[in-house]
Structure 1
Amino acid sequence: MPSSGNNETILWNALFEASWDGMVVLRLDGSLYRVNHRYAEMLGYTREELEALHIWDLDTRFSQPEIEAMLHSVDSGGAHFETRQRRKDGSVIDVELSNNGATYQGDKLIFCIVRDITARKTTEERLRQNEALLQGIASQVPGVLYQYRMAPDGSRSFPYLSEGLVKLGGLSIDTMAGAEVVPLMSRILPEDADLVEAQTRRSAATMENVHVEFRFRHGDGSIRWIECRSTPKQEPDGGILWTGILLDITQRKRAEERVQAMAITDGLTGITNRQEFSRLLDREMERASRYASPLSLIMYDLDHFKRINDRFGHNTGDDVLKTVADLVGDSLRDADLHGRWGGEEFMVLLPHTGLEAASRVAEKLRQTIANHRFETLGFVTASFGVVELAGGENSRSLAQRVDEALYRAKELGRNRVEARASHQDAQ
């Protein structure tokens, strides 16, 4: 407040009354020395009514002793804080105070600018409640809610990761969020990382949603399948922000693998079933024809298997089939294919193998079976037919020829190998 000069007094009064904020001058004893129209309007009093009060009559946050101590501590350096004041009608508003101490005509006064921040505090509280609500929802979502940003310079970051990351990835949010994406992205298996990056770049170019599945190394070292779904949004600076969800689909993937395995595997022996073996046979025949490489097929059948079932029961017969399948499987190369054709009949497909070499393999298998002693029933034998794929031959003809070779081995006394070199029956 000016100390002299009529013109300065007029200017001060004009500024005091024209202010958009409430203005009040306090004495050290807490009484209101002067208030402007805005402050009176803010609290619903007349100026005369306010100037008859003390500041602790209005303040609902601090006690009278606290306010008295604050008044005596204010100096020319000022003080800034928030409090709450009661209006004449009893309602309470949030206010922000900026105080400065000064001496006027020998008295120390406190000059205060008072701003009503009730609307701002209400908005802040609503935002806090919304944030708490979103945090609560995010904590219940069975996955990770996230935001992933690609800046105009190509740098990447995760502005937001929900707490689900702790469970889904076994990782700490503090170490995964922020500017660096390397700790999180580096856990995607290398064989899947290129697919994820390609999907991201495609989405950035087309603004299409991302939907990709990939394998991720969990914090405990295990491998998990993750499904990612997100929606991109162009930002004002040219960056792109994806908002999405990560779901752990490991159990679903394992179930799908089990279903797929059941569809192609013989339930008793655990080796390829007839349908899948037929599909693989067609594939290998096409490959052999394309590269002009030899391909041979072995078919074997357990001798007098019906007698085993009749004498010892079907459980024993099943055990024999499983054991024989294991014995043969252990004697084959990784490239060879082994399947159950039906009943006690089995097939072995030998890529890159001619008739002579295939016959030696069949003889080795025959001896392996014949030399194995089974509990309860002792020894069993098997008969083998062997054929080599001929030019222009189809799978039906090849299967028919190997069946005839096996039949010939049985006719000649069983427990032997018969090979057929010609394909006069091919179609």
Structure 2
Amino acid sequence: MLDEEKTKEQLIAELKDIRYQLEELKKLQNDRKQIEDALRESEERYRKMVNAVTGYTYTVTISKGEAISTQHSIGSYIITGYKPEEYQNDPYLWYSMIYPDDRMIVLNSITNISKGSHTLPIEHRIVRKDGSIVWVRNTLVPYYDKNGQLIKYDGLIENISDRKEAEEALKLSEEKFRAIAETAVDAIVTADSKGDVIFWNASAQKIFGYTEEEIRGKSLKILMPEKYRKDHEQGLKRLMETGKSKYFGKITETFYGLRKDGSEFPIELSVSMWKAGEDIFFSAIIRDITIRKNLEQELEKNAITDRLTEVYNRTKFHEIIKKEIERAKRYNDPLSMIMFDIDHFKNVNDTFGHSIGDYILKNLTQVVKEQLRENDFLVRWGGEEFIIITPQTEMEKAGILAERIKKAVENYKFDIVGKLTISLGVTQFKMQDTEDTFITRTDDALYLSKRKGRNRVSMKS
């Protein structure tokens, strides 16, 4: 019985011991996981630190003008690929890793500090142990003995490859931009955040008249008429505050440029903004559209003008009469119309030819224009027939104008043909009139003058 109970106690003790061992094993496993996690974290931190290393320090000891030893910090391995002990074993390793074309830059800097001269940081290339090339910034700090002899110098090596690559890319970009800009037919102008010109292509010089030397550093305001300058200043201020402009990404034709000689001309303008680091710049492409505007004006003029006499044609007449009728109805203003033609003009053409007929029509319109007010409209209605629209004029006053025109033509002597006469009809707009009834009544008044013997003015209410 005692033996059995003892056996039970032994079993319980053994179970407790096994449980303890299991718990210890579990702790060991947890500790191992923690160790593994800590190791991974440490490796990650080391990797980040290594990647963040962009510089290291070194010391070169000098005796009798020669380097006798060099010491490089652990960071040298990251940048150069050489371990610190490799520099200790070979005092001239630092020189051999300098890119051959750049060695004189470094030697000249060392010569300067050996003479006691101040030297600025230098930039040069080094050849890494794996053969790759790295750009570095090398800052030298010299130490001298009491006799002024150089005994050592400390240095700071910084990896500037990324910056050099960016500079080279920017240089290539600038060269490409300049090549394109110099061959562009449009003016290309670049300004800084203050609105001062920093780039000016050949076409800009041709269009505005300023050389790049004359315009560089000057405000953009010099290129715009006075009426735009205040808005330009306010727009530039607003742009610097908000980064937005209503002109970005758009082609604008509502502006005029100002040439060096003071003349204004229409331009087509497109503006963009770009950044280089913290600096803000603006570029504008400017096209001189003087020729296009002149052509547009010429086309517009031809669309509304009679080519022979250069007075308004029927198309323009309908536009004018519509507006004047609306004005007369709205403000209850008087509106009158005069219609006239040249007496016996067919005989002139038959006798002297159509070229003389054209000459008469052109000269006749000049004689009539001299009698009109600025707000009167002269229209060639067709053939030798013309209409005069006289806004804000009652029929009696329009009749007086018609008499004055009749007399001026009657007294004018045309070459070859001599004197001619015209017949005129006058009427006033009525509120119930349409455009057609208004014209018809004026036409009736004209033919009344013809029936009465021509060279006279007739009025019809």
State the SS of the aligned residue for 2:336. Answer: strand
CA distance in 2, matches of 1:247, 1:33: 66
How far, CA to CA, are the matches of 1:275 and 1:64 in structure 2? 80
Range 301-310 or range 127-136, more displaced: 127-136
Q: Does 1:136 align with 2:136?
A: no
Residues paired across the two proteins, number: 396
Aligned to 1:382: 422
- Say if 2:316 is the partner of 1:267: no
Name which of 439, 443, 449 aligns with 1:409: 449
- CA distance 1:62–1:188, shift in 2 (3 Å): same
Structure 2 residue 69 is the aligned partner of structure 1 residue 33? yes
Report the Cα offset of residue 177 of structure 1: 7.1
Q: Is the 8 A contact 2:208 2:223 kept in 1?
A: no
Higher helix share: 2
Q: Residue 169 of structure 1 aligns with which residue?
A: 208
Structure 1 segment 71-110 matched on structure 2, within 5 A: 73-75=114-116, 79-86=120-127, 93-103=134-144, 108-110=150-152
CA distance 1:79–1:73, shift in 2 (3 Å):
farther
Give yes or no for contact 1:204–1:232 (8 Å, CA) kept in 2. no
C-alpha separation in 2, matches of 1:19 and 1:363:
98
Which residue of structure 2 aligns with residue 286 of structure 1? 326
- The code of the aligned residue for 1:61 comes to D
Matched, 1:339 2:374: no
Determine the C-alpha separation between the residues in 1 that align with 2:70 and 2:235.
Answer: 69
Unmatched 5+ residue regions in structure 1? 1-17, 151-155, 423-427
What amino acid is the match of 2:137?
E
Q: Deviation digits for residues 348-373 of structure 1, max 9, x if unmatched?
A: 11122222222221122112222222
Q: Tell me if structure 1 keeps the 8 A contact 2:70–2:88.
A: no
Aligned residue number for residue 10 of structure 1: none
Deviation string 1:260-294 (CA, Å, 9 cap, x unpaired) is 11111011110100121122122112212322222
Relative to structure 1, is the Cα distance of residues 159 and 419 closer, same or farther in structure 2, using a 3 angstrom cutoff?
same
Which entry has the higher C-alpha Rg, 1 or 2? 2
Residue 370 of structure 1 corresponds to which residue in structure 2?
A: 410
Give distance in 1, aligned partners of 2:435 and 2:312: 17
1:323, 1:229 → 2: CA distance? Answer: 47
Q: Decide which moves more: 332-341 or 224-233.
A: 224-233
Q: Does 1:42 align with 2:85?
A: no
Equivalence for 2:262: 221
String of CA shifts for 1:309-360, please: whole Å, max 9, x gaps. 2222211111111111111112211111101000110011112222222222
3-state SS of paired residue (1:21): strand
* Unmatched segments (≥5 aa) in structure 2: 1-52
**In the alignment, is the contact (CA less than 8 A) between 1:144 and 1:161 conserved in 2?**
no
For residues 372-404 of structure 1, give each alpha carbon's deviation from its aligned partner in whole angstroms, at most 9, with x where no partner exists. 222222222211111122232222111111111
Q: Residues of 1 paired with 2:236 and 2:293: CA distance?
A: 20
**Range 60-69 or range 342-351, more displaced:** 60-69
Structure 1's 289 and 108: CA in aligned 2 closer, same or farther, altered over 3 A? Answer: closer
Which residue identity does 1:166 align to in structure 2?
Q
**2:364 matches 1:324:** yes
Q: Of 287, 292, 295, which aligns to 1:247?
A: 287
Question: Which of 311, 316, 320 is residue 351 of structure 2 equivalent to?
Answer: 311
CA displacement at 1:222 relative to structure 2: 2.0
d(CA) in 2 for partners of 1:255, 1:96: 60
Stretch deviating more after TM superposition (101-110 or 354-363): 101-110
Q: Percent same amino acid among aligned pairs?
A: 28
Indicate conservation of the 8 Å contact 2:55/2:159, yes or no: no
1:123 maps to: 166
> Please, which moves more after superposition, 211-220 or 65-74?
65-74
Which deviates the most, 389-398 or 132-141? 132-141
SS at match of 2:151: strand
TM-score, with length taken from structure 1: 0.76
Change in Cα spacing, 1:181 to 1:78, as seen in structure 2 (3 Å) is closer
| Partner SS state of residue 360, structure 1 | helix
Residues 109 and 122 of structure 1: CA distance in aligned 2, closer, same or farther (over 3 Å): farther
Amino acid at match of 1:170: G
CA distance in 2, matches of 1:226, 1:182: 15
How many Å separate the matches in 1 of 2:419 and 2:89?
Answer: 115
Tell me the TM-score normalized by structure 2: 0.71
2:34 corresponding residue in structure 1: none
Q: CA contact under 8 A between 2:54 and 2:159: conserved in structure 1?
A: no
Q: Secondary structure at the match of 2:102?
A: coil
Q: CA deviation at 1:63?
A: 4.5
**Cα offsets for 1:84-134 (capped at 9, x unmatched):** 445567765433222233258998433242334344323212211112222
Counterpart amino acid of residue 101 in structure 1:
P
Alignment partner of 1:391: what SS?
coil
Q: Where does residue 13 of structure 1 map in the other structure?
A: none
2:446 aligned with 1:391, yes or no? no
SS at match of 2:122: strand
